[in-house]
């Protein structure tokens, strides 16, 4: 089934909840966007206390403050803090995300440092997302053009930390990074090695990779296998990373035409079921039929849908076509979109009968909020009415 990435609507937190969330503590190292994982030691390495005293403390605090609320409530409250999602994109004028994305990290870190009970509740949430893709804090007085150094050093520090702290490494589910030429000969091998030490990592999101670092990526990922990754969001020049993910299910191309990614999918990634952001010209479609025989979900634009429809019968497992369209108040009435919907629906109806439900979905791409976690929203097309 297709992946649905939807952002949660903003909600006003009650005064009780706001009072429960402590403001972030002032950082000793203002330039570091996230603490070194080596410094976030496990509860076993905290101040020496007797087991009885610690148990008493944990028990007394586990029902106080924000932890006195149902977990669903404080989890929903945290959604008001901007998070990085699979569809989050960097601004057009810089490859890094703004400082506002650090607020969620700061809040979770502060909560995890309150006491043992809070640490047990919030440390896993803090580290479920591994990020090195934000601009430096204003207080760090880092030059605006040196984002590559700031993020490069942050990535090196975190990679070393995860290698040293297997407990935190086990928390990580998603990684969101930018890759530049800064110390690439050292950074890329360390990064690929650290990814291999994250057993529960399922999503790797590269928001930016410099176009002139193909050789560095090839060298850094050579011999590396990341069987745990199921979703890969990369630019078109990230094919050397894709080569290391043999069991990836979803591939999203964020730049270029995806030609190099198609080649790698055909040779190294037989399990691919979803493809987004790829060119749909006829020559590309012919290659995709051979490269991804297990394709179930495919994303297209409203441009020339006939190229896609003629190849649908050759994808034996296809069940969902996603039509990407810019978000606007009149987008449903746009002639090009309506024509595309009719063409795709007819193409699906002409396929041989299937036991699985077939769907046409519209992805309304919101470029005005391109930095948000969701980046848009889905609507379903009624195949009976189209």
- Angle, helices 147-164 vs 184-195, to 10°: value is 40
CA distances 327 to 323, 363, 375, Å, are: 12, 8, 10
CA distances 269 to 66, 103, 207, 244, 283, Å, are: 44, 37, 21, 9, 20
User: Which residues, 6+ apart, have CB-to-CB distance to 315 below 8 Å?
Assistant: 289, 292, 293, 295, 298
The CA distance from 266 to 90, in Å, is 29
Name residue, tokens 């699985």: 356
The CA distance from 219 to 22, in Å, is 44
- Ramachandran region, residue 375 (left: φ > 0; alpha: ψ -120 to 50; beta: rest): left
Instruction: Identify the three-state secondary structure at position 179.
Output: strand
Strand partners, 297: 274, 320
User: Which residues, 6+ apart, have CB-to-CB distance to 151 below 8 Å?
Assistant: 96, 132, 133, 134, 177, 178, 180, 182
Instruction: Identify the three-state secondary structure at position 310.
Output: coil
Going residue by residue through the chain, which has 386 residues, state the pLDDT in tens, using 9 for 90 and above.
444 334 444 444 444 434 444 444 444 444 444 456 665 544 445 444 444 445 445 456 777 788 888 888 888 888 888 889 888 888 777 888 988 899 999 999 999 999 999 999 999 999 999 999 998 876 655 555 588 898 999 999 999 999 999 999 999 999 999 999 999 999 999 999 999 999 999 999 999 999 999 999 999 999 999 999 999 999 999 999 999 999 999 999 999 999 999 999 999 999 999 999 999 999 999 999 999 999 999 999 998 899 999 999 999 999 999 999 887 655 555 888 999 999 999 999 999 998 999 999 999 887 665 545 557 888 999 988 76
The CA distance from 351 to 319, in Å, is 10
Closest by alpha carbon to 206, among 225, 232, 229, 243? 232
CB 204 within 8 A of CB 175: yes
DSSP state of 44: G
| Residue 282, H or E segment | helix 282-291
Rounded to 5 degrees, what angle do the CA atoms 212, 216, 219 make?
150
DSSP state of 103: H
pTM for the model: 0.83
User: Which residues, 6+ apart, have CB-to-CB distance to 69 below 8 Å?
Assistant: 17, 20
List b or e across 259-285, with b for residues whose CB sees 16 or more CB atoms inside 10 angstroms: ebbbebbbebbeebbbbbbbbbeeebb
């Amino acid at each position: 089934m297709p992946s649905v990435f939807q952002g949660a609507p903003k909600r006003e937190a009650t005064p009780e909840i706001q009072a429960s969330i402590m403001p972030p503590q002032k950082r000793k190292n203002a330039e570091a966007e996230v603490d070194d994982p080596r410094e976030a030691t496990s509860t076993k390495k905290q101040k020496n206390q007797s087991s009885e005293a610690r148990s008493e403390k944990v028990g007394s605090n586990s029902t106080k403050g924000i932890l006195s609320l149902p977990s669903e409530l404080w989890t929903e409250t945290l959604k008001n803090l901007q998070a990085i999602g699979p569809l989050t994109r960097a601004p057009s004028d810089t490859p890094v995300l703004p400082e506002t994305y650090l607020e969620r990290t700061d809040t979770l870190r502060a909560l995890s440092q309150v006491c043992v009970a809070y640490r047990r509740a919030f440390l896993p949430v803090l580290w479920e997302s591994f990020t090195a893709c934000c601009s430096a804090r204003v207080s760090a007085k880092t030059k605006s053009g040196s984002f590559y150094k700031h993020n490069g050093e942050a990535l090196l520090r975190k990679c070393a930390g995860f290698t040293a702290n297997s407990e935190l490494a086990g928390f990580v589910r998603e990684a969101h990074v930018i890759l530049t030429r800064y110390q690439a000969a050292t950074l890329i091998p360390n990064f690929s090695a650290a990814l291999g030490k994250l057993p529960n990592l399922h999503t790797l999101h590269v928001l930016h990779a410099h176009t002139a670092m193909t050789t560095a990526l090839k060298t850094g990922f050579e011999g590396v296998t990341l069987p745990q990754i199921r979703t890969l969001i990369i630019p078109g020049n990230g094919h050397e990373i894709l080569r290391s993910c043999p069991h990836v299910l979803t591939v999203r191309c964020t730049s270029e035409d995806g030609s190099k990614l198609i080649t790698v999918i055909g040779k190294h990634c037989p399990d691919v079921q979803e493809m987004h952001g790829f060119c749909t010209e006829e020559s590309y479609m012919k290659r995709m039929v051979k490269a991804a025989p297990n394709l179930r979900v495919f994303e297209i634009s409203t441009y020339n849908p006939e190229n896609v429809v003629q190849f649908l019968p050759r994808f034996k497992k296809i069940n969902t076509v996603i039509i990407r369209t810019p978000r606007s108040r009149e987008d449903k009435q746009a002639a090009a979109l309506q024509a595309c919907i009719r063409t795709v629906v007819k193409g699906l109806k002409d396929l041989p009968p299937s036991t699985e439900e077939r769907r046409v979905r519209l992805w309304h791409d919101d470029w005005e909020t391109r930095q948000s976690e969701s980046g848009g929203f889905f609507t379903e097309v009624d195949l009976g009415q189209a």
